[in-house]
Amino acid sequence: MTKTLTRRTFLKVSAAGGALLVGGYLPGFGETSRAEAAGVLEPNVWVRIGADDTVTIMLSQLEMGQGVMTSMPMLVAEELDVDWNKIKTEWVPADLKYGNPNFGGAQLTAGSNSVRGMWKILRQAGGTARALLVTAAAQSWNVEESACSTEKGEVIHKASGRRLRYGALVEKAGALPVPKTVALKTPKEFHLLGQSMPRLDIPEKVNGRAVFGIDVKRPGMLVARVVKCPVFGGRVESFNAEKAKAVPGVRNVVKISSGVAVVADNYWAASKGAEALEVKWNEGPLANLSSAEILKKYAALAEQPGKVARNNGDAMAALKGGGRSFERVFEVPFLAHACMEPMNCTADVRSDRCDVWVPTQGQTASHQAAIAASGLPAKAVNIYTTYLGGGFGRRGEADFVTDAVETSKAVGKPVKVIWTREDDIQHDYYRPITYVRMWGAVDESGQPVAFMQRIVQQSLMKRLGPLPPDGIDRISVDGAATLPYDIPNVRVEYIETDPGIPYGFWRSVGASVQGFVVEAFMDELATTAGKDPYEFRRGLLSKHPRHRAVLDAVAEKSGWGKPLPAGHTRGIAVMEAFGSIVGQVAEVSVTNGAVKVHKVWVAVDTGWVINPDTIKAQMEGGTLYGLTAALKGEITIHSGRVVQHHFNDYQMIRHNEAPEVDVHVVSSTENPGGIGEPSTAVAAGALANAVAAASGKRIYKLPIRV
Amino acid sequence: MISLTVNGKQYEVDVSPDTPLLWVIRDAIGLTGTKFGCGLQQCGACTVQLDGVAVRSCGMAVSNVGTKKVTTIEGLSPASSHPLQVAWIAEQVPQCGYCQSGQLMSAAALLAKKAKPTDAEIDAAMSGNICRCGTYQRIRRAIHRAAGA
């Protein structure tokens, strides 16, 4: 359900924005003309087969650790029946012909949409290439196509034992018309998909050779640090560059739209120059804003009804209808992404062209930012991507591109802008602070009869375009309006507001809030009803067999109900997020207010599987990302600025605190769901429920404080 | 000019003496496998070895390196052959990969001291290295694997 809503959302948004997209948008297909080099078969924009049998697969979805550099080519290679060892990959530039249909045809790696958006396109790309090669071979042998099969880069005519390498067929195949679509394999026919293939990016990530954005070098390149106003919305009133320029190695000090760039021969000189720079800020209208004040306003807003995102039965009447009813208030804070690689970008702006090297999640957004900042036409602006040292939604933004392009343009030289960790923590687009009122009721028999929610949050959809006519932000209510439990009276309301703090897409986005809020509240309904939290949920999932299977699996694997060491407790949660169903059980103990997470079990149904070990890795890592936020994560606004600075006051889970995460993939033949975000969304829910079981106090606020 | 030995090679670098070793390695020598993550010795992405001991290169002025031999990820082994690198691949450890040079340098310093570290010893040696992608359990497995445990 989530998937459909989210997709529709993006379709609507893109339609409103005038971007190209139709439902069956398949970039690279149906083109009437194709340029073909001699001895190379290029049946679409995704695959190129050389006479030497080399198969090059184009990569548009960007690699930030989630394994797309491997999973995307696997989709092509499966249908192409190619020898995996002969695969080469190539990153594509900013070019809409490589767009992701789940983002209206924009090139964007986000929302766990790489496989979901691209699997059909990439399998068709491999399948059409294969069909051309089969036709070419059949014609060469003068046999029926149906008598031919393919295997590891060869077409085989079994009856006669003849074989032809793909490379030997490229010229003949290149002269054939490209079929618009071909029949795809059924999951039973997969030989590559479903196998754990070693990730293609890992070898160069163990020897320092992998090139991240921060590693880009250009001839004559300078390095810059940008000094930004600590208060959101603040502007440079004036600055004195004298002391900054006195630092050896500092070349220029220039005002750009986000602050003042100190440009030097190397990072250390730029850094010392930035420390020496004197800036007078006009702090603007937000200089007195605080998180406490924001929450106070949100609480006042929540006194009034919101826009109705879901309504079954009559929740308000049911709340007054006897039984045990209660109201709770949940709060979650702003969160920073804290990618390990600080934001950076390298730009070389000339009079007639602009080249940009950037670790980005969105080639299209980076392209647009560079076009705007350079003032050059789109054709003159080139985006080259690198590996991303973490993304988590942060690198879908393009503020760092604007920094670099403006600075390079101002100094007339190639410039690499590198943010500090403080810049990163204090100038993020944060997971929005959220205030949620919740009401629930259980009847005498212990059945839940009402579930009602009122969510106050900045609108994430507004970052993409206008809200739909019903005023409901489907991203903000992701995980809430999609409540799977069979409760007769359900009402979900949404109230949009914007205090002015930059906000954006943080791994699992709206579901990052609801995975906690909904599942913690469901747990309280269960304990109020005097029921076991697992059995209680299970009894409400008869109409959602996938959820129930996942819940059963995670309960079984975790030994739910079996005795635990003294002081240990368990918590459980399940939800649909990004097209996958994920369940978690956390085992914890609480000693003198300190929460220790001993182990987490994850069960996930993500449809038919591409690279199983990548799913496991994403569930492991996504869980820790969610646990980190639930245990430690809080960005606080005071005087219009972020209180936290660094890893000392915005802390991460470390080796000694990291629990084992035991992942079980529940098999399914559904179309693939996302894997990068679901486990993050649900982690706080399972954890909060385990902590509540240990401490006897329900958790209504993150980060968890016992 | 400051002279230092990095991965067995002698370098003369013309940098201000307060420059952190990290930026000498990255900007002056041009070895970019060692990463900048925080600049305050809190994340470990910049970890290198000085005479075999893991140090945060972002917090050490180059003038304090003296005659100690610097080893970076590029010098850990020829052709990714260090048992830890082999184990890192076998366990499919890295996700984004940005912290992994630092993780490997810390782990290599640990194994040089303790051939078969316990989980507690791994915690003690590795907790200065943050991995935002959450690859800790694979790192632990890979260290045990490299140790032949």
pLDDT tens sequence across B63-104: 999 999 999 999 999 999 999 999 999 999 999 999 999 999
Residues B103 and B129 in one domain: yes
Residues of chain A contacting residue B76, judged by C-beta atoms under 8 Å apart: 207
- Computed over its alpha carbons, how large is the radius of gyration of chain A? 27
Q: List Cα–Cα distances, A140 to A49, A137, A172, in angstroms.
A: 18, 5, 9
CB contact under 8 A, B40 and A647: yes
Contact flag B43-A340 (C-beta cutoff 8 Å): yes
The reply to whether residue B36 touches residue A418, judged by beta carbons under 8 angstroms, is yes
B55 plus B109 within the same structural domain: no
Average pLDDT for chain B? 97
Q: What's the confidence (pLDDT) of residue A11?
A: 30
- Alpha carbon A573 to chain centroid, angstroms: 21
Q: How many helices and strands in chain B, by DSSP H and E? A: 5, 5
Which chain A residues contact residue B42 at CB under 8 A?
A: 646-648
CA dihedral A197, A395, A516, A596 (to 10 degrees): 70
A170/chain B closest Cα distance in angstroms: 35
By CB neighbour count within 10 A (0-12 exposed, 13-18 middle, 19+ buried), where does A238 fall?
exposed
**Residue A390, C-beta contacts closer than 8 angstroms, at least 6 positions apart:** A64, A65, A337, A338, A339, A340, A341, B96, B98, B132, B133
**What pLDDT was estimated at residue A31?**
36
CB A312 within 8 A of CB A318: no
Of B23, B47, B73, the last residue of a domain is B73
What is the domain count for chain B?
A: 2
Name the residue among A198, A202, A267 with its Cβ closest to that of B23: A267
Same domain, B9 and B68: yes
Report how far residue A359's alpha carbon sits from residue A346's, in angstroms, rounded to the nearest whole number: 9
B100: domain CATH number?
1.10.150.120
Chain B partners within 8 Å of A346 (Cβ)? none
CA distance A409 to chain B (A): 22
DSSP state, B25?
A: I
Determine the residue among B95, B100, B103, B137 to mutate to test chain A binding: the one whose Cβ has the most chain A Cβ atoms within 10 Å: B95
Q: Which chain A residue shows the shortest CA-CA distance from B72?
A: A208
Does residue B34 sit in the same domain as residue B88? no
Q: What is the ipTM of this complex?
A: 0.98
CA distance B67 to chain A (A): 22
CA–CA distance, A141 with A157 (Å, rounded to integer): 9
Contact B127 A656 (CB under 8 A): yes
Whether residue B92 is found in the same domain as residue B68: no
Task: Enumerate residues 6+ apart whose C-beta is below 8 A from B42.
Answer: A646, A647, A648, B128, B130
Q: Which residues of A touch B23 (CB under 8 A)?
A: 266-268
Which residue in chain B has the smallest CA separation from A658?
A: B136
Q: Are residues B102 and B69 in the same domain?
A: no
Residues B83 and B30 occupy one common structural domain = no
Q: Are residue B88 and residue B53 in the same domain, yes or no?
A: no
Low-confidence residues in chain A, pLDDT < 50: 1-36
Collapse the DSSP code of A593 into the 3-class scheme (helix H, G, I; strand E, B; otherwise coil) and give the result: coil
Same domain, B141 and B90: yes
Query: In Å, what is the CA distance from A477 to each residue of A3, A81, A250, A503?
Result: 13, 42, 49, 16
Taking CA atoms, A608 is separated from A194, A602, A670, B149, in Å, by: 8, 17, 6, 35
CATH code: domain of residue B22: 3.10.20.30
> What residues make up the domain containing B83?
78-146
- The reply to whether B11 and B49 lie within a common domain is yes
Structure-block tokens of residue B128: 């200065």
Residues B40 and B55 in one domain: yes
Residue of A nearest to B44 (CA): A340
pLDDT of residue A181: 87
Whole-number pLDDT of residue A582 = 98
Interface probe with A: pick from B136, B144, B145, most Cβ of A within 10 Å: B136
Is residue A491 within 8 Å of residue A310, measured between CB atoms? yes
Domain boundary among B15, B40, B73: B73
Tell me, yes or no, whether B140 and B85 share the same domain.
yes
Q: Are the beta carbons of A27 and A84 closer than 8 angstroms?
A: no
Find chain B residues with C-beta within 8 A of A622's C-beta.
134
In chain A, the domains with their CATH numbers are 2-204 (3.30.365.10), 213-285+343-418 (3.30.365.10), 291-335+430-695 (3.30.365.10)
Mutation target for B interface from A71, A202, A216, A340: give the one with most B CBs within 10 A. A340
Q: Which of B52, B73, B94 is the last residue of a domain?
A: B73
Q: What local confidence, expressed as pLDDT, does residue A38 receive?
A: 61
CB within 8 Å of A186: residues ≥ 6 apart: none
Q: Do A387 and B97 touch (CB under 8 A)?
A: yes
